[in-house]
């Protein structure tokens, strides 16, 4: 499928990569490989959903690895560590407790303002959560919250006219592991010390106990695809080849991970 | 060489940290945090613009940052140039 493929109604056809599970370096490499493919008109706008195995910590492009992550504890627990190409904060991606999405398309598909584009894309997530009976809102600058508690963090980058936004949806919260692995700045949480993590962060299972991750994925996917023609698709051989290259040479490379 | 640190949390919750390694009359600045900057690679130019001869005041730091952002047509999101400048300024003062 080419970037300029259209559905019968003239709207651009999107490719959907259904929920898949990969290691951290591959997950980040696929985002970059897909951006490159779209920029070269070798792939259509793409929506993908994924999980992380092994569980992983990702840090934002501008963060200091040594200041944000307890590397020894990650090693002890077999948790991957990867630096994202997007800004934002450190995230613990629990294999069993999170669904991640990426949306990648030429910038013309989104509002031009950064804040407006965050709202636009996060509204897909909010729509999906509403299908589960969860009333969520966008919380500037890049979060989605339920009753003020964070349920999703999102990060965006733009390159060669292509916008990438990826974000998390907390399905189940393992706050203990999260805070064993992440070195949360005292400045960052100084005004929140009196609140427990469980009061600042929430998850789908906390809001709606009993839902399976498949049910949640189905609803979130519906939220993202409701306004666009989407076709289930697959990575191209070129994208997979580029993914392997980027995973090996960049995202699994300590020089990149310890860049700052 | 003396090293100074400072960090600042913006009203929107984004954090910026500055590390300044200084001699008697010059400094080298590193900026980290969970803010957003497009394009991301501009961070190196921002660090270079804040490094060099010791700044006279916080306004001078801010002006350098804003000039660099303009040159690279870069945009900060979640943090303001003024907030980064203040953080750098404090780090430099603590390194003296």
Q: pLDDT tens-digit profile of B3-53?
A: 999 999 998 889 999 999 999 999 999 999 999 999 999 999 999 999 999
Q: Which residues of chain A have pLDDT under 50?
A: 1-2, 190, 193-194
Question: A-chain residues within 8 Å CB-CB of B5?
Answer: none
Write down the pLDDT at residue A3: 55
Which residues of chain A have a CB within 8 Å of the CB of B45? Answer: none
Query: Looking at residue A133, what is its pLDDT?
Result: 97
CA A39, A43, A49, A52: dihedral to nearest 10 degrees? Answer: -70
Q: Nearest Cα to B51, choosing from B25, B75, B32?
A: B25
Q: Point out the residue among B7, B12, B38 whose CB comes nearest to the CB of A187.
A: B7
Nearest-Cα distance to chain A for B83, in Å, is 14
pLDDT at A193: 40
Contacts of A62 in chain B (CB under 8 A): 31-35, 37, 40, 43
- Running DSSP on this structure, what letter comes out for residue A6? B
- Give the gyration radius of chain A's Cα atoms: 18
Tell me how far apart the alpha carbons of residues A50 and A101 are, in angstroms, rounded to a whole number: 6
B76 → chain A, closest CA residue = A114
Segment B66-94 mean pLDDT: 97
Q: What pLDDT is recorded for position A6? A: 66
At B22, which helix (H) or strand (E)?
Answer: strand B15-22
pTM: 0.93
Question: What's the pLDDT at A199?
Answer: 79
| The pLDDT value given to residue A1 | 46
Chain A: nearest CA to B48, how far in angstroms? 15
Q: In chain B, what residues touch A64 (CB-CB under 8 Å)?
A: 17, 32
- C-beta atoms of B14 and A141 within 8 A: yes
- Do the chains contact at A60 and B9, CB–CB below 8 Å? no
pLDDT computed for residue B40 by the predictor: 96
DSSP character for A247? I
């Amino acid at each position: 499928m080419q970037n300029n493929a259209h559905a019968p109604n003239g709207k651009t056809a999107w490719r959907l990569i259904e929920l898949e599970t990969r290691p951290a370096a591959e997950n980040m490499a696929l985002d970059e490989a897909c951006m490159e493919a779209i920029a070269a008109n070798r792939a259509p706008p793409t929506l993908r959903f994924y999980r992380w195995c092994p569980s992983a910590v990702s840090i934002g492009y501008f963060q200091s690895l040594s200041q944000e992550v307890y590397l020894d504890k990650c090693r002890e627990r077999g948790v991957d560590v990867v630096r994202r190409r997007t800004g934002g904060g450190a995230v613990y991606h629990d294999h069993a407790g999170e669904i991640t999405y990426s949306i990648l398309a030429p910038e013309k598909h989104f509002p031009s303002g950064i804040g407006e584009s965050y709202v636009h894309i996060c509204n897909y997530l909010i729509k999906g959560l509403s299908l589960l009976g969860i009333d969520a809102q966008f919380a500037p600058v890049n979060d989605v919250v339920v009753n003020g508690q964070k349920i999703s963090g999102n990060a965006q980058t733009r390159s060669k006219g292509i916008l990438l936004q990826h974000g998390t949806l907390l399905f189940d919260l393992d706050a203990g592991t999260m805070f064993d692995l992440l070195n949360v700045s005292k400045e960052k949480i100084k005004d929140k010390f009196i609140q427990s993590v469980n009061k600042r962060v929430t998850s789908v299972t906390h809001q709606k106990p009993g839902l399976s991750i498949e049910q949640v994925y189905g609803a979130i996917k519906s939220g993202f695809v409701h306004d666009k023609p989407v076709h289930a698709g697959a990575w191209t051989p070129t994208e997979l080849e580029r993914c392997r290259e980027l995973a090996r040479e960049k995202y699994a490379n300590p020089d990149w991970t310890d860049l700052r | 060489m003396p090293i100074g640190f400072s960090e600042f949390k913006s009203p929107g919750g984004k954090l910026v940290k500055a590390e300044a390694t200084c001699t008697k009359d010059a400094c080298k600045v590193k900026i980290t945090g969970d803010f957003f900057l497009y394009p991301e690679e501009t961070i190196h130019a921002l660090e270079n613009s804040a490094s060099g001869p010791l700044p006279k005041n916080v306004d001078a730091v801010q002006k350098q940052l804003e000039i660099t952002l303009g040159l690279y047509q870069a945009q900060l999101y979640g943090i303001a140039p003024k907030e980064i400048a203040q953080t750098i300024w404090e780090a430099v003062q603590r390194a003296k």
